[in-house]
Amino acid sequence: MSQVVTRFAPSPSGYLHIGGARTALFSWLYARHMKGKFVLRIEDTDLARSTQESVDAIFEALEWLGIDWDEGPFFQSERFHIYKEYLEKLADSGQAYYCTCSVEEVEEMRKKATASGGKPKYDGSCREKGRGKTDSAVIRFKSPLMGTTVLEDVVKGNIVFQNQEMDDFIIQRSDGMPTYNFAVVVDDITMGVNTILRGDDHVMNTPKQILLYKALNSPLPTFGHVPMVLGHDRTRLSKRHGAMSVTAYRDMGYLPQAVLNYLVRLGWSFGDQEFFTIEELITKFNIPNLGRSAGVFNPEKLTALNADHIKAMPSEKLALYLIPFLKQKGYPAEEGNYLTGIITTLNTRSKTLIEMAESASFYYVDQLEYDEKAVKKFLKTDILEPLAMLTEKLANAKDLAQETQETLFKEVLETTGIKFGKIAQPVRVALTGKTASPGIFEMIDILGRDRVISRLNHAIKLISGQQSK
């Protein structure tokens, strides 16, 4: 085969959802794996449903996922002159014809066919009448009346269609608009697309498209139809299964790498491996490993995989994704050692970037909000002396390296005779306002001497206030 050219051709009538994103991903990965081209085409011939907002949303989602394109974006609405040229080719060669049958007449034909045990289809009334173009005429493709059309599918295997069950389908409506099956074939021919990976909801369209390729004397592309993504109840994926637009997952704090990793596993496998980087996917992705059974969307698995990608991502890179979430909360976050240090204390404890931003709050706020139960349980008068002793030692220490901290804590424990756990939780509450947090030594190292001493002194005042009551 010549250079592989794949495509993604969404309809701009809404946001890019999980199923569409997976289709784009498979085509993009195969193009990248084969060092080919990936074409983006916007199928916007349905002018009533197509919106610029949807076009922008599709671009935004693809760019966030990191799915780039080599050619395009092409818009079908700008290609009517090309469709007209190919329509004329078919009409001039006698492989298409004008039909003036009304909608009501065609409906009656379908009812008669059904009543006689056949498939509801147009009966070919205008097929050999040589009708001319009129304002109400459609153009129909002259389908073969006998024989078979074979779809050689690289995922599903060969599928055979009986030509006699297909009617002379419309390729141009009476308003001059090309139909879907005709437009996509012309687009794929003129754009050099030779590999089409898409959802298996398109299988029934494919025999019509194959006939059009043959009529236009164009080589057939490689077709691969992958099973649809299903919800946990094995029905078609929808919002009630937890599936939303791609950008909704971005806004919920998922990493694009995790979303891509999860999407590719909904229909493709490589042994038992679950975690993939983008580089690994490009290297390993292949058509033979595409599955024939439907993938089941599981939000919990996506979240778990997102946690794995958060752990694996270098702190400097993760900071770029985390900063917008911190700024949404009003924190003065910026790239640098302070933020990367924060991330190292939270990346093994966070499933999403929203969760991480929430956990990072104590690193940024000037005044902590204390958990009242934690204060009552741990900031008691019996810890006042050890806490004051530790605060003084930390204030006077030459540095707050973790080795230094361990030594100072050990000195306090030896002097007061208490166990580490007895002072650790009060210090944790004093520094974060909560009982659950990263390691104490890590936090002190990142917060810095001034913040640490200020917060410990505030805790001492709280305890002293209790003592004086």
The CATH number linked to 25 is 3.40.50.620
Is the distance from CB of 220 to CB of 208 less than 8 angstroms?
A: no
Both 171 and 251 in one domain: the answer is no
Both 334 and 376 in one domain: the answer is no
d(CA 469, CA 459): 16
Output the domain CATH number for residue 254.
1.10.1160.10
Q: Is 432 inside any structural domain?
A: yes
Both 51 and 195 in one domain: the answer is yes
Q: Is 291 exposed, middle or buried (0-12, 13-18, 19+ CB in 10 A)?
A: middle
Both 200 and 271 in one domain: the answer is no
pLDDT the model gives residue 328? 96
pLDDT tens, residue by residue, 38-85: 999 999 988 888 999 999 999 999 999 999 999 999 999 999 999 999
pLDDT tens, residue by residue, 80-111: 999 999 999 999 999 999 999 999 999 999 99
Is the distance from CB of 225 to CB of 199 less than 8 angstroms?
A: yes
Output the domain CATH number for residue 164.
3.90.800.10
Both 219 and 284 in one domain: the answer is no
Q: Is 234 inside any structural domain?
A: no
Between helix 337-346 and helix 315-328 the angle, nearest 10°, is: 90
pLDDT tens, residue by residue, 25-38: 999 999 999 999 99
How many structural domains compose the chain? 5
pTM over 0.95: no
Q: Is 255 inside any structural domain?
A: yes
Both 175 and 189 in one domain: the answer is no
How much is the mean pLDDT over the chain?
94
* Among 148, 163, 180, residue at a domain's last position: 180
Q: How confident is residue 468, by pLDDT bands cut at 50, 70 and 90?
A: very low
Q: Is 249 inside any structural domain?
A: yes
pLDDT the model gives residue 244? 81
Both 88 and 127 in one domain: the answer is yes
In the predicted structure, residue 1 carries a pLDDT above the cut 80: no
pLDDT the model gives residue 230? 87
pLDDT tens, residue by residue, 206-227: 999 999 999 999 999 999 999 9
Output the domain CATH number for residue 357.
1.10.8
Q: Is 233 inside any structural domain?
A: no
Output the domain CATH number for residue 445.
1.10.10.350
Both 376 and 456 in one domain: the answer is yes
Please give the average per-residue pLDDT across 140-161, as a whole number. Answer: 97
Both 120 and 44 in one domain: the answer is no
Q: Which domain holds residue 424?
A: 366-469
In the predicted structure, residue 467 carries a pLDDT above the cut 80: no
pLDDT tens, residue by residue, 306-323: 999 999 999 999 999 999
Q: How confident is residue 469, by pLDDT bands cut at 50, 70 and 90?
A: very low
Q: Is 441 inside any structural domain?
A: yes
Active site residue 239: yes
pLDDT the model gives residue 466? 62
Other C-beta atoms lying within 10 Å of the C-beta of residue 463: 22
* Annotated catalytic residue within 111, 119, 129, 239: 239
Both 468 and 384 in one domain: the answer is yes
Both 340 and 460 in one domain: the answer is no
Q: How confident is residue 242, by pLDDT bands cut at 50, 70 and 90?
A: low
Both 116 and 255 in one domain: the answer is no
